[in-house]
Chains A and B, each alone.
Chain A
Amino acid sequence: MSFTSYEFIFCFLPLTVLGTALLSRLKNGVYKKLLLIALSLVFYAWASPAATLWLLASAAVTHLFARLIFKTAREHALARKALLGAGALFHVLFLCFFKYIDLSALRASLGDTLFLFVPMGVSFFTFQFIVHLVEVYRGKDAPSSPLDFLLFATFFPYRTMGPIMSHSAFAAELARVDALKPNANELGRGIYQFVLGMTKKLVLADTVATLATNGFALTGNASFAAAWGTALAYTFQLYFDFSGYSDMACGIGRMLNLPLPQNFDSPYKSESVSVFWRRWHMTLGRALTTSVYISLGGNRRGILRTCLNLFAVMAVSGIWHGDTVNFLIWGCAYGLILVFERLCEKPLSRIPAPLRKGLTFLTVLTLWVPFRAPTFAGALRIWRGMLNVTNLGLGQFAAICQDNIISLPSAVAILYGAALLVLCTVLVFCFKNTHEKTDSMRFDTKTALLLALLFFLCLIHMSRASVFLYENF
């Protein structure tokens, strides 16, 4: 079930909030947890019931290993390490099986058996479970009750695409007296955040997506205008899509009074790539830091090792996103840039802040190209076009702005595409992000009317077929 589907908006979400609110009146908190687990399983099974078993199996193994590690005395360091290694290996193999093996070929020969249904969000929950094992091993987390762990493992707001919430953070939130007890204040803010996120996804991301999709589908040489239009469009599409999803997830968390961690903090306003990665998909960054960077020694073993670890983290991030050369290049390029920034910290800090922001945005935009392009040759085509100042090619830009349903005259298409990109730029650079807006929102009629209008806008965009980009990861 998607957050932007009619059944979710009009049925699942209201029933979930209402059910949780009603059950939270009971003294025994078990019932609302059971309700949320059941609803989460329904949410998860909506697309692929069989894959739900994989999620539950992975959760069961994690819980078992977490308990074993926790119960093994600290004196038995080797045994603890072996348990952690075995648990982590299980998850890595689990992830590799679903992510890097061509299951369609297997399905062709074996048929649609249970083993070949890819569990939704496998990359996300695998990371979440590994982080849990690592934290238990380090003594920073403890296994919770089977019921609480099941809720943690299945909790629908973050289950398919994050934010990647650590078990320790989840358990701390769950331990609050008023956790999962919806109240009017949080409900109001949650709805506000949810609707803003939905607007980002349905109205902005899905609209600008046309340019990106058409641009990356170009087969010949891309012109200067078309290449920049394509790269910019995807840069905004990905941001509005994924941060929109995260806002919706956080909004649901607020509605249920179980806040989820922030995942985006105006990343395109960053003054360096290092800062960008602290503000983009923040929870993945934290998970990678916990499970890879710190495990490799972090910054405690000298500058050379620190640089190596930084590079390794970004290479893993690339591989985490997919098994193509493009993702590896993308991750490694970021690894090199982070190393460069670490080594040149002082000289870089002397560059004026607006220039640093511009350079960072340019770097990020350039590197989204291989991230999205179907092949490396496709990425090269766009890059070449971005450098080809002699071929402005507004006609090709007009072509990528067409929505393939209604044919617009070229001049109108160019104006439309340019206006859309300018609007996205203004929204990204000149406005507060959704979290800031949610925290500072006022409970007044103006806000209520804004929400009503945005909801209407989202509703009319909902009939377009669309998927969240990070569902692919």
Chain B
Amino acid sequence: MKKELSPRSFLIRTLVLTLAVLLFFGAVMFAVDPYQFYRKTQGHVLDVRYSTPGMIKHFDYSAALIGSSMCQNFDMDQLDALHGGEVLKLTKGGMTASESLLVLRWLAEAGKADTVYLGLDMTRFNEGAADEYYPAYFANDDASDDWRYLFGYEAWMRYLPLNTAVLAANAAGIRLPSFISEKSDPDLVGRWMERYKNAFLGEEALVENYLNGKGGVSAQNTDGMYERMVRGLDDFLKQEPFDPDTTYYVFFSPYSALYWAHTGREGSLDALLKFRTHFFEKMRGYENVVALDFQAMDETRNLGLYKDLSHYHEDVNALMAEGFASGAYLATDEAVEKNNETILQNVAELREKYPALNEAL
């Protein structure tokens, strides 16, 4: 049996070893830099939640795409071509308004993007202050809190096991499913089209699923909804989201006509239409904001293009991308009013075809 140390020596040894262990593992994490916090690294799995600030700082781009799951299937090559430069994809499923703000702020600080395509979810303005997924230590340039990254749960426990497994599989020549391999490609990360290609079931099945409670939309607080959304937008705009040196293409995603029929049943349709008018009016007040209204585009009536009430086929993304360049969907005063009428008309048609949609929820 080895000789025991004196308690004092034991304490000193414990302290020295602890410092050595922390130094070693801190250095490992600094070298790996999974979230590209210090430099651009290659081949790693990109977790949009944590990689976004690093990508903004260290990637090369002249435009950026921000949005939620409904923006994740944009063909980035198409956007690059239309924009005439590299567009950085910064989408995240369920992105809230406050998260969009944070990303907009980081982009403005980096000063690399002359154009930003900003997709917003309308109903996010109907929420109170939402949690931000991005860890606070990413939100500043303060080096004194970098240790939270170097010794953080996110990097060590969420990132490393997955990334090590992916790198090992790649090294061993194992072909990974696309939804995993895509995670390492900045243009494909978050893309869900392949995974859900069999989920586009056609109009009747979509309506039937919806009527059976499988709509895939969260219930809204309809009490005082319009006023709350206006307040939410005011709060958003108070944070000065638009950098004067950048052009912003701002849009709401084109939900299906069935979604609008659902809002009619829920009692939120009027508030949403009124908010659309208010929102686009506000956007027109910014010289460097190009507001686009895709919400009444013809494709919203084709329910075969939707996997649920709001998530659409990548073909719709392609049309939207063309719309950024063509200016066909500009949200002028008249266009928005006309689109509101079109939405109501679409709802009426659906209700006529499916009488159950007339029943309030």
Contacts and interface: CB of A to CB of B under 8 A. Distances in A.
Interface of A: 183-185, 187-188, 191, 403, 405-406, 442-445, 447-449, 451-453, 455-456, 459-464
19 contacts: A184-B6, A185-B7, A188-B11, A406-B47, A444-B2, A449-B17, A452-B14, A452-B17, A452-B20, A455-B18, A456-B21, A456-B22, A456-B25, A456-B151, A459-B22, A460-B153, A460-B155, A461-B153, A462-B153
A184 B13 CA distance: 13
Interface stretch (B107-115, B156-164, B350-358): B156-164
A187 B9 CA distance: 12
Contacts of B156: 460
Contact of B11 (A184, A453, A460): A184
Contacts of A460: 151-153, 155-157
A444 B6 contact: no
A135 B6 CA distance: 41
Given A456-B22, A464-B153, A445 B13 contact: yes
B180 to A, nearest CB: 9
A187 B11 contact: yes
Interface string B293-311: 0000000000000000000
Given A187-B7, A187-B11, A442-B4, 15 more contacts: A184-B10, A185-B7, A188-B7, A403-B158, A405-B49, A444-B2, A445-B13, A448-B13, A452-B18, A455-B18, A460-B152, A460-B156, A462-B153, A463-B152, A463-B154
Contact of A443 (B5, B151, B154): B5
Contact of B5 (A405, A445, A459): A445
B151 A188 contact: no
Interface in B129-177: 135, 148, 151-158, 162
A454 to B, nearest CB: 10
A461 B3 CA distance: 33
A403 B47 CA distance: 15
Contacts of A445: 5, 13, 17
Contacts of A188: 7, 10-11, 14
Nearest to A464: B153
B77 to A, nearest CB: 26
Nearest to B155: A460
B6 A463 contact: no
A439 to B, nearest CB: 14
B10 A443 contact: yes
A463 B11 contact: no
B8 interface: yes
A448 B20 CA distance: 12
Contacts of B21: 449, 452-453, 455-456
B6 A448 contact: no
Nearest to B17: A452
A463 B148 contact: yes
Given A449-B17, A451-B18, A459 B7 contact: no
A444 B6 CA distance: 9
A191 B13 CA distance: 13
Contacts of B162: 406
Max count, chain A CB within 10 A of own CB: residue among B5, B148, B158: B5
Contacts of B20: 452
Nearest to B165: A412
Given A184-B11, A460-B157, A463-B152, A444 B18 contact: no
Interface string B11-33: 10110011011100100000000
A403 B17 CA distance: 32
Nearest to B8: A184
Contacts of A456: 18, 21-22, 25, 151
B11 to A, nearest CB: 6
Q: Which 5 A-B pairs have the closest CB atoms?
A: A184-B7, A443-B10, A452-B17, A452-B18, A448-B14
Given A406-B162, A452-B17, A453-B21, A447 B10 contact: yes
A403 B152 CA distance: 16
A430 B94 CA distance: 44
A459 B13 contact: no
Contacts of A455: 18, 21
B247 to A, nearest CB: 34
Contacts of A459: 22, 151
Max count, chain A CB within 10 A of own CB: residue among B2, B7, B14, B156: B14
B4 A191 contact: no
B15 to A, nearest CB: 9
Contacts of B14: 188, 191, 447-448, 451-452
A170 to B, nearest CB: 25
Contacts of A405: 49, 158
A11 to B, nearest CB: 14
B4 A444 contact: yes
A299 B132 CA distance: 58
Contacts of B3: 444
A443 B4 contact: yes
Max count, chain A CB within 10 A of own CB: residue among B8, B153, B156: B153
Nearest to A455: B18
A19 B10 CA distance: 21
A185 B14 CA distance: 13
A448 B2 CA distance: 14
A455 to B, nearest CB: 5
B5 A406 contact: no
B22 A443 contact: no
Nearest to A407: B179
B21 to A, nearest CB: 4
A456 B9 CA distance: 21
A463 B5 CA distance: 33
Nearest to B149: A463
A187 B11 CA distance: 8
A187 B7 CA distance: 8
A452 B17 CA distance: 6
A444 B17 CA distance: 12
A462 B11 CA distance: 23
Nearest to B9: A443
Contacts of A442: 4
Interface in B214-231: none
A184 B10 CA distance: 9
Nearest to B5: A443
A453 B154 CA distance: 18
A406 B151 contact: no
Contacts of A463: 135, 148, 151-154
A100 to B, nearest CB: 30
B135 to A, nearest CB: 8
A455 B20 CA distance: 12
Max count, chain B CB within 10 A of own CB: residue among A183, A443, A453, A456: A443
A445 B148 CA distance: 28
B174 to A, nearest CB: 14
A304 B272 CA distance: 69
